[in-house]
């Protein structure tokens, strides 16, 4: 077993507190106010509203990002990222062989309903 695993925690005190939902990227553009390449994405979470997220998903072309289903944590505090504020954390993992911080999306494999909760 990997030695870098974190300690075991209860569901209710960890994952159970997160509100992670499916959203659709409805607008995307390259942000110019950040040091590193970042996308500004407007994401529609259905009845939970539209939220702005900034993320380093820029190894994906803009046309591939627009209309993509993504998973976003809706109940984190907004995060200041240099001159911009991200309202929702979009789930991602490091893009293969990319520099640290450059991400690829964690997305549903099927056309899930907007606003659906991750469980």
User: Cβ(35)–Cβ(59) under 8 Å?
Assistant: no
As a whole number of angstroms, the distance between CA 43 and CA 20 comes to 13
Residues of 7-33 as b/e, b for ≥16 C-beta within 10 angstroms? eeeeeeeeeeeeebbbbbbeebeebee
1 pLDDT more than 80? no
Query: pLDDT by residue (tens digit) across 49-95?
Result: 999 999 999 999 999 999 999 999 999 999 999 999 999 999 999 99
Pick one of 2.40.30.10, 3.30.450.20, 2.40.50.140, 3.40.47.10 as the CATH number of 19-105: 2.40.50.140
Q: What are phi and psi of 16, to 5 degrees?
A: -65, -20
CB 115, CB 46: distance < 8 Å: yes
Considering only the C-alpha atoms of the chain, give the largest distance between any 2 of them, rounded to a whole number of Å.
42
- DSSP state letter for 46: G
Per-residue pLDDT tens for 37-51? 999 999 999 999 999
């Amino acid at each position: 077993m990997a030695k870098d695993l974190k300690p075991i925690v209860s569901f209710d005190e960890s994952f159970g507190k997160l509100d992670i939902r499916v959203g659709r990227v409805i607008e995307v553009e390259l942000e110019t106010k950040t040091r590193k390449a970042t996308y500004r994405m407007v994401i529609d979470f259905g009845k939970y509203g539209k939220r702005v997220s900034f993320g380093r998903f820029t190894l994906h072309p803009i046309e591939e990002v627009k209309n993509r289903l993504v998973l976003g944590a809706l109940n984190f505090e907004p995060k200041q990222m240099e001159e911009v504020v991200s309202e929702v954390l979009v789930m991602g993992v490091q893009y293969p062989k990319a520099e640290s911080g450059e991400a690829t999306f964690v997305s549903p494999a099927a056309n899930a309903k907007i606003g659906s909760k991750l469980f």
